[in-house]
């Protein structure tokens, strides 16, 4: 059953990110990933159901408009960083569920690249690390920050390392090498790790149910 309003987070502003960013190569091509935005959308919906106001910063198709939901459409990691930073001004919680591209082309071609050469070399440079940048410039000060990690090996160890390196309050990790969960799927199965070391497993379920469970955990931590 969907969760009802939670007095702990009723009226609080949540900022949620969704989708996979697209880093342009030329006017028609980009570097991206398999993220569909379903988990981020589910988290935004869960927070709304539990009484929060939500700003959804999304690189995926946006959900239908509804009361309490503000939608900011973005494409690149840089655009998402700027939008999240602006939205944090009156936020209490940030949930970074988007799959942000790690790399972008150093140069973007002004015209469509044509076939012809046997090979094509594109120099890549790192995109902005949004969570690290927000912490370093103080934009997320006093905001409860939740990160996501999509891993294929050493899942818990890698998630704990990310939790520490980015000074997160909570991290949600899933094993995207497993069939039927994670990117593009309708179901998910995750482990939630708290800064104090508490580990909570959320069994495989539709993403809406997993999102409700995650938001309930967040509510228990912001009390």
Mean pLDDT value across residues 117-122: 88
Which region among 5-14, 55-64, 72-81, 140-149 has the lowest average model confidence (pLDDT)?
5-14
Q: Which domain holds residue 211?
A: 13-101+120-222
Whether residue 168 has pLDDT greater than 80: yes
CB 95 within 8 A of CB 56: no
Whether residue 207 lies inside any domain: the answer is yes
The dihedral over CA atoms of 83, 86, 92, 95, expressed in degrees to the nearest 10, equals 10
Whether residue 1 has pLDDT greater than 70: no
Q: Please report the pLDDT score of residue 41 as a whole number.
A: 96
Which residues contact residue 31 at a Cβ distance below 8 angstroms, ignoring those fewer than 6 apart? 22, 23, 25, 101, 103, 104, 105, 124
Whether residue 166 has pLDDT greater than 80: yes
Whether residue 108 lies inside any domain: the answer is no
CATH, residue 66: 3.40.50.10300
What is the tens place of the pLDDT at every residue in 183-204? 888 999 999 999 988 899 999 9
Whether residue 133 lies inside any domain: the answer is yes
Mean pLDDT value across residues 143-154: 93
Whether residue 8 lies inside any domain: the answer is no
Whether residue 68 lies inside any domain: the answer is yes
Whether residue 147 lies inside any domain: the answer is yes
Query: Which residues are marked as active site?
Result: 33
What is the tens place of the pLDDT at every residue in 60-97? 998 999 999 999 999 999 999 999 999 999 999 999 99
Whether residue 80 lies inside any domain: the answer is yes
Count: domains in the chain: 1
d(CA 196, CA 44): 25
Whether residue 112 lies inside any domain: the answer is no
């Amino acid at each position: 059953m969907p969760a009802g309003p939670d007095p702990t987070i009723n009226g609080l502003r949540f900022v949620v990110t969704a989708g996979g960013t697209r880093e342009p190569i030329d006017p028609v091509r980009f570097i991206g990933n398999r993220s569909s935005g379903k988990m981020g959308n589910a988290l935004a919906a869960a927070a709304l159901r539990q009484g929060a106001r939500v700003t959804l910063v999304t690189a995926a198709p946006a959900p239908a408009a509804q009361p309490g939901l503000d939608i900011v459409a973005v494409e690149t990691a840089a655009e998402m960083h700027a939008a999240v930073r602006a939205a944090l001004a009156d936020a209490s919680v940030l949930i970074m569920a988007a799959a942000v591209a790690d790399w972008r082309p150093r140069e973007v071609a002004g015209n469509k690249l044509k076939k012809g050469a046997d090979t094509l070399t594109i120099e890549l440079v790192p995109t902005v690390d949004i969570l690290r940048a927000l912490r370093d410039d103080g934009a997320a000060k006093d905001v409860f920050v939740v990160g996501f990690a999509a891993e294929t090996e050493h899942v818990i160890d890698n998630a704990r390392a990310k939790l520490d390196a980015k000074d997160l309050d909570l991290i949600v990790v899933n094993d995207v090498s497993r069939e039927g969960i994670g990117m593009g799927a309708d179901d998910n199965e995750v482990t939630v790790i708290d800064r104090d070391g508490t580990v909570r497993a959320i069994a495989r379920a539709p993403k809406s149910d997993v999102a409700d469970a995650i938001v309930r955990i967040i509510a228990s931590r912001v009390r």
